Structure 1
Amino acid sequence: MSDTNPLPAASFLAIAERGIGDALTLLPSLRALRAAHPALRIELLTPGLFPLAENLLSTATVLDHRPLAGLGTEARLAWLGERNFEWVWNTEGERGPWTAALQGSENPRWVNAPAQREWGSRQVLGVRLEQLRKLFPDLSGPGEPGLSLTPAQAAASRSFRSQFPRDSMLVAIQPGAGDLNRLWPAEKFRALALALAERPRLRVFLFLSDAGVFFPTPEISPELPNLHFVSEPLDAVVPKLAACDLCIGNDSGFYHLAFALGARVVGIHRSLRGARRWAYRSPRSRVVICWMPRQLRRDWTEWVSVRRVLGAARRLVPEL
């Protein structure tokens, strides 16, 4: 290659293509890497957080994943070489295209993270830091899991909050999850939303792609002035979610996003092991878990009631 078109400086690439939650749980480890190696170029492939690339600039440069979507194994390895990545850390899981590509690489610094079944009950933030330390043994403890707003987002968040009385409490509910096995039923989320909306001081926001799943007919959809539906792209959702005091939802990327934005969170988990892996051990976090033995919880959602979820929320936010 000629001197007029030099290779970029050696750099580090993290690949987090499983979803928003996977990418957000990498951030504390990437911040530890940034603190230990401030001159290192840190780049991140994360389709889920690509709309929030500006929010991550202090931690990593988010690359455009779209031109890479159709590449085969050899083309992916060639792209990594062209970008002069000295280290590659892939967390997408066993069946992803990057995993297959890196399995064919002879570079010992281009690695696939171990599968979740090898984690045991260890919490994700510690697991990720342990994985990254195999490439960078000098890392200290993880950085913060937070996500900073851009100035425009902060202004939009203040504007959104100002629409409601000052003593209002804003509660976000997001009933989705990338893994269908982690879904608490729609009818229970509906009952939860209605129970919260009975309190005039609360403003309840259902972040949905399809409100009809939860309130399928006008007869079931009450006209409560403090029950609202939000169905917007991620970059428009972030300012509104950042204005909320509490978020209740499944173990999902939205749950991790709410915590990263500073909200108190209640996560609904199908198992103790799942909660130990993915829940935050923080005064801002509570979990509701199906405690039944595996052989008795074919439908784990039967054992997680609306009352239990409300109780967890009230222990976290006594004003509810």
Structure 2
Amino acid sequence: MKKVLILFGSKSWKTKGPFSDLKYQSCYENLYSLASKNGVALYRASYQWYDHKNNIFKYAWTFKNGVWERASEIKPDLIYDKTSFRMETNLFKEKISENYPIINDPLFTSIADNKFITSLLFPEYSKRCYLLTSSADLKKSTALIKGTRIVLKPLSESGGKGVQIIHKKQLESILIKQPLLAQEFINSSNGIVGIMKGTHDLRTVFINNKLIYSYIRQPKKDSLLANLAQGGTMFIIKNNQLPKSIFPVFKKVASTFSQFENTVYTIDFMFDKSQKPWIIELNSMPGMYFPKEEEKCMEKTYLELIKLFKNA
């Protein structure tokens, strides 16, 4: 049976179990059970548990017979990377990649998850980003960005972390402590014609450039950030409901990254008042969570992922 290790961030081995959030635990239990039925043994480990001298993972969690079990001295056939962008994490991944194949390729991840780079790769579908390293940069970019509001965001974070939507009159109070991006605010309050009304973003999920599923995220009351991690809600839509205007974007992204094999990524969109789609970001590590009412979509996605693991 092929061994695939799902690589995560910093984590203590002394915890009672691998998860603190039961809803995510339930989804992963479904994934591990489905993988086992299809000839793939899944393991879960922190990058900190990798012993580069002996080329093994000292510890890992696995799910068998309805129970999470501890495992040791794991030598997987493949790594599925689910770590967040951190300098320390990247150094560990470099060492791991010398001995194990990784999905996604770390180079692909570094490109796709960098919002500044992707804005340059897809300028016709992206609002221009301005790189800020000082208050002077912020002042210059503000004069060039249309509208009364401006979006400030980190280069590589996901889940809406660090994103600020600021009125230009408030920018004098902003301190630039790390590199940030400034971008024009997109007013998505008209929704997506024929699908939904109101502020939103649309996430489309791909495995090996194949569109697997799509869902709308809407922000909680009095918020403009639709990410689930920020309290937003989601509902899945059928692929045949998607606006035709985003399909050329799919082709462009697939073509741009065609030299990379075995890819998993998302493209997030907002539609402005004229219904033009704009890329908000790409994400090389889509979440694994599905609500209970979307079990069919969950199983379809997990089976595609398992197929990728088996063929990689």
Q: Provide TM-score, normalisation by structure 1.
A: 0.29
Compare CA radii of gyration and give the structure with the larger one. Answer: 1
Q: Which has the higher strand share?
A: 2
